[in-house]
């Protein structure tokens, strides 16, 4: 069966731990695994802006022995010129895997259902699971482990990064606190993200809490995370978002309530003076540049993990 990485909970706790071990190994020995040698191509499709994702996937695919093929979503016109199903079937005949950054999680699921090759979520409106593999790798490097670690996510906790932290953090056995104003919190509906994360935590020894006050959320935390208040696609809401979210800005004063050696993460791009103060982003507790580098190691591990279990067409004999 073809495996995909569409959301953080596509990995069991054991798979996540193995994947993080593999990412650490690949960081130490970048050319140790060559599942794309040949080379086989990986299509990278972007319907939203990208810097880190495009560069880290391109470099990582090359290090795995493959060819990174950039497909510009605007030109391909997925869902406009032709359906997601048709694009999926065409891409799956050409490449070993598809990496897609798009808006709707449901479109990504349609791609996965029809491509016949592994499909990787390079960010949707709902999740950013590749970023979380990099983030967990970074926390492991700084703190030595993940189980029992307390992470506070402050700001737009309803965004893709908040949801991914809830799922990936609890999978790792972490205590995940999220804090944001009303309207910027994850869905508490039955079957929603909070319920899913709570269910995962019940099996891993982690926990989930929604904390109204940012100081209560950050107090004593081992890791403090924030993200832009204006995610891609939300530009029209900028003014109201800045007004609502300003009390959740990650300032030095707020960070001072965390553990003294707490690690600060931000997936970037960062808007200094809005969701994070410049001195926090640039300060000694910030791990953001390691976090950005770790995208490459993390995503190589994701691709190697998926390609290992993918059926592979043998080259015809000549
Ligand atoms: N939440 C942000 C993440 C950027 C990497 C966005 O979706 O724009």
pLDDT computed for residue 313 by the predictor = 52
Residues 139 and 273 in one domain: yes
pLDDT score recorded for residue 235: 96
Confirm whether residue 232 is marked as ligand binding: yes
Distance in angstroms (rounded) separating the CA atoms of residues 108 and 73? 13
Hey, which bits of the chain come out as E strands?
41-46, 67-72, 97-101, 119-121, 150-154, 175-179, 207-210, 223-226, 263-266
Kindly state whether residues 269 and 302 are assigned to the same domain.
Answer: no
User: Whole-number mean pLDDT of the chain?
Assistant: 96
pLDDT above 70 for 207: yes
Average pLDDT over residues 192-208: 98
**128 assigned binding-site residue:** yes
Determine the average pLDDT of the residues in 145-154.
98
User: How far does residue 48's CA lie from ligand 1's centre (Å)?
Assistant: 10
- Residue-level pLDDT at 300: 98
Ligand 1 site-directed mutation target among 52, 132, 159, 266, most atoms within 8 Å of CB? 159
Compute the average pLDDT of residues 267-285. 98
CB distance 20 to ligand 1 below 6 Å: no
What are residue 156's DSSP bridge partners?
Answer: none
Q: Domain containing 161 — which CATH number?
A: 3.40.50.1370
pLDDT at 309: 73
Together in a domain, 90 and 67: yes
**Which atom of ligand 1 lies at the shortest distance from residue 268's CA?**
5
The residue with greater pLDDT, 191 or 316, is: 191
In this prediction, residues 55-83 reach a mean pLDDT of 96
Determine phi and psi for 154, rounding to 5 degrees: -120, 140
The percentage of residues in the chain with a pLDDT greater than 70, rounded to a whole number, is 97
pLDDT at residue 212 tops 70:
yes
Region 186-208: mean pLDDT is 97
* Domain count within the chain: 2
Residues 120 and 249 in one domain: no
pLDDT at 318 over 60: no
Residues 81 and 137 placed together within one structural domain of the fold: no
- The residue whose CA has the least distance to atom 8 of ligand 1 is 231
Does the Cβ of 159 fall within 6 Å of ligand 1?
yes
Does residue 3 lie in a domain region? Answer: no
Residue 318 lies in a domain: no
Q: Is the pLDDT of residue 305 over 90?
A: yes
In angstroms, what is the span from residue 37 Cα to ligand 1's centroid? 32
ipTM value greater than 0.95 = yes
Lookup: tokens for 33: 């695994």
Alpha-carbon distances of 74 from 49, 80, 104, 152, 226, rounded to whole Å: 11, 9, 15, 36, 29
* Averaged pLDDT, 216-232: 98
**pLDDT for the residue numbered 317:** 54
On the question of pLDDT at 226 being above 90, the answer is yes
């Amino acid at each position: 069966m073809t495996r995909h990485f569409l959301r953080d909970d596509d990995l069991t706790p054991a798979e996540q731990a193995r994947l993080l071990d593999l990412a650490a190994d690949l960081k130490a020995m970048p050319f140790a695994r060559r599942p794309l040698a040949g080379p086989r191509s990986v299509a990278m499709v972007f319907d939203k802006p990208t810097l880190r994702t495009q560069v880290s996937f391109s470099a990582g695919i090359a290090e795995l022995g493959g060819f990174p093929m950039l497909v510009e979503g605007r030109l391909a016109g997925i869902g406009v010129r032709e359906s997601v199903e048709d694009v999926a079937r065409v891409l799956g005949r050409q490449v070993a895997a598809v990496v897609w950054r798009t808006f709707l999680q449901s479109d990504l699921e349609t791609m996965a259902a029809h491509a016949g090759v592994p499909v990787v979520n390079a960010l949707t409106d709902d999740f950013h699971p590749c970023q979380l593999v990099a983030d967990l790798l970074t926390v492991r490097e700084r703190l030595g482990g993940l189980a029992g670690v307390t992470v506070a996510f402050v700001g737009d906790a309803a965004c893709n990064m908040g949801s991914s932290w809830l799922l990936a953090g609890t999978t790792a056995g972490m205590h995940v606190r999220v804090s944001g104003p009303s309207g910027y919190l994850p869905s508490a509906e039955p079957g929603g993200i909070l319920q899913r994360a709570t269910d995962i935590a019940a099996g891993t020894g982690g926990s989930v809490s929604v904390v109204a006050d940012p100081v209560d959320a950050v107090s004593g935390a081992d890791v403090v995370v924030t993200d832009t208040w204006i995610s891609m696609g939300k530009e029209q809401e900028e003014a109201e978002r800045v007004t609502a979210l300003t009390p959740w800005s990650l300032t030095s004063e707020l960070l001072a309530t965390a553990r003294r050696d707490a690690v600060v993460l931000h997936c970037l791009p960062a808007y200094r003076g809005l969701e994070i103060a410049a001195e926090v982003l640039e300060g000694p507790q910030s791990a953001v540049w390691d976090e950005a580098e770790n995208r490459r190691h993390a995503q190589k591990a994701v691709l190697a993990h998926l390609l290992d279990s993918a059926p592979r067409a043998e080259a015809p004999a000549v």
